[in-house]
Amino acid sequence: MRRLLPVLAALFTLGCASTTLAQSVVTLASAQNSAGSLPIYVAEMKGFFAAEGVKVETVDFKGGAPAVQALASGSVHFCICAGDHAVRLRSRGFPARIVAGLVEQHGYGLLALATSAVTDMASLKGKKVGITSSGSLTDNTVRFSLQQAGVNPDRDLILVSVGTGAPMKAALDSNGVDAGMFTTPDVQANLAVTGKYKVVKDYRDLAYPALDLIALEPWLQKNDKAARGFLRAIVKAQQLIQSDPAVAREGLKIMFPSFDDRLVELIVADVPSHLSRKGEVARAGFDNMIEMLGASEPELKTVPFGEVVSVAYLPIE
């Protein structure tokens, strides 16, 4: 038996190596750390990726613009980004596709300190406004809202690229910016600090493909099996989140370990209405996105829904 142990150990090692080699590695560029990425955490937590023979690696970026640059360069396979970026890439000749929706609501809110004189978009004249990055969803959104309020975003104030989460909060707290864009769950976390912050503009109920999985067609075509397996795992996680609050709760606690139970429960309650159920991208949200992009980037070529959104890689029930 002792003589067999080294042989068995070697066979076990080879078996593990074969399993590892059989896995397809899928790399993701993440534009933000928000509740919209919950299906990815749940799919990993429940072993859905492993069951599909997929290993997922995520790289964090400070906003959608640098994340989508990584996608366009071929450094990553998917971008976890707002749908805006797929439209931009497509209009500039890149064969980008939204292959699955993650968040069907906008997800951001513009916050200021409670003591600030800022009360609405018009009152931002002469101020500094924090966005995640130039060309991001937050940039487009703020520009669109300012124009609606009669404020010129290029002349009447300063837009500052800050990033997300903690850097944005630090900029707001130190008066580096007069107002800043925060996503779910950072909006809830900041508002839970009684009396310190206020909402200047809330976009969280606006239908919008605020977070999607975007890929380039050549990679999808060359990696059909990996793409389908990855998206099957995502949709399975989405459906589980919708049907079982305990799963959402468990995933959120992994994502945001510093959040207390009360804050986690607030987010759990919001999740079903904001997340996509089966990877779908709603036409109404897409149309809102096109309107917002047209106002902030009139030179951008309009791309039809069917040329940007693809359901070809989603599981068919």
* Domains in the chain: boundaries: 24-106+207-308, 108-202
pLDDT for 162 beyond 50: yes
pLDDT digits (tens, 9 = 90+) for 260-287: 999 999 899 988 888 999 999 999 999 9
Look at residue 10 and tell me whether its pLDDT is greater than 80: no
Burial (CB count within 10 angstroms: exposed 0-12, middle 13-18, buried 19+), residue 85: buried
Choose the weakest-confidence range: 17-26, 69-78, 122-131, 267-276.
17-26
Look up tokens 């069951």; give the residue: 51
Mean pLDDT of all residues in 98-108: 93
Please report which confidence band the pLDDT of residue 8 belongs to, taking 50, 70 and 90 as the band edges: very low
Adjacency order of strands within the sheet including 179-183 = 158-161, 128-131, 179-183, 108-113, 197-202
Question: In this structure, which topology does domain 108-202 adopt according to CATH?
Answer: D-Maltodextrin-Binding Protein; domain 2 (3.40.190)
Query: Is the pLDDT reported for residue 19 higher than 60?
Result: no
For residue 317, the model assigns a pLDDT of 62
* Whether the Cβ atoms of residue 38 and residue 227 lie closer than 8 Å to each other: no
* Residue 316 confidence class, pLDDT cut points 50, 70, 90: confident
Task: Name the pLDDT band for 301 (thresholds 50, 70, 90).
Answer: confident
Average pLDDT over residues 72-92: 94
pLDDT over 90 percentage in the chain: 74
pLDDT for the residue 306: 95
Q: What is the pLDDT of residue 1?
A: 33
**Structure confidence at residue 22 (pLDDT):** 65
Contact by Cβ (8 Å): 141, 108: yes
Residue 12 has pLDDT above 80, yes or no: no
Predicted pLDDT at 302 = 83
Mean pLDDT for the chain?
89
Long-range contacts of 138-144 (CB under 8 A, 24+ apart): 138/63, 138/108, 138/181, 139/65, 139/296, 140/84, 140/292, 140/293, 140/296, 140/297, 141/106, 141/108, 141/181, 141/203, 141/292, 142/110, 142/181, 143/295, 143/296, 144/292, 144/295, 144/296
Q: What is the pTM of this model?
A: 0.82
- pLDDT over 90 (residue 250): yes
**CATH number, domain 24-106+207-308:** 3.40.190.10
Q: Kindly state the average pLDDT of the residues 229-242.
A: 97
Tell me if 24-106+207-308 shares its fold with 108-202.
Answer: yes
